[in-house]
Amino acid sequence: MSREPTNRSCETCAHMWPAGKVTPKGDRYYVPTCRKCRNRLGLCACTLSASIDGPCGPELKLWRAET
């Protein structure tokens, strides 16, 4: 049996940074952001990464369980 939770969302994703987190480069984002999804300006908000046309898509294909 898989140890992965069945509820896939940005909140349970290991790639999600909470709002206000300072990145290793010194940037601060004031909304939850995804470390895996980027645009030309930087990291994408979690709401964009899970959008229909985003890299994760509505099924959160890039989602990984926290270890």
C-alpha to C-alpha distance for 25 and 10, rounded to whole angstroms: 22
Confidence at 11, pLDDT banded by 50, 70, 90: confident
Please give the mean pLDDT across all residues of the chain.
80
Amino acid identity of residue 15, one-letter, is: H
**Amino acid letter for position 9:** S
C-alpha closest to that of 48 among 10, 11, 12, 21: 10
Question: How many structural domains is the chain composed of?
Answer: 1
Amino acid 2: pLDDT = 47
Domain hosting 29: range is 1-67
Q: What integer pLDDT is reported at residue 15 of this predicted model?
A: 87
Quote the pLDDT of residue 30: 93
pLDDT tens-digit readout, 27-57: 899 999 998 888 888 889 988 888 888 888 7
Q: Residue 67: pLDDT above 80? A: no
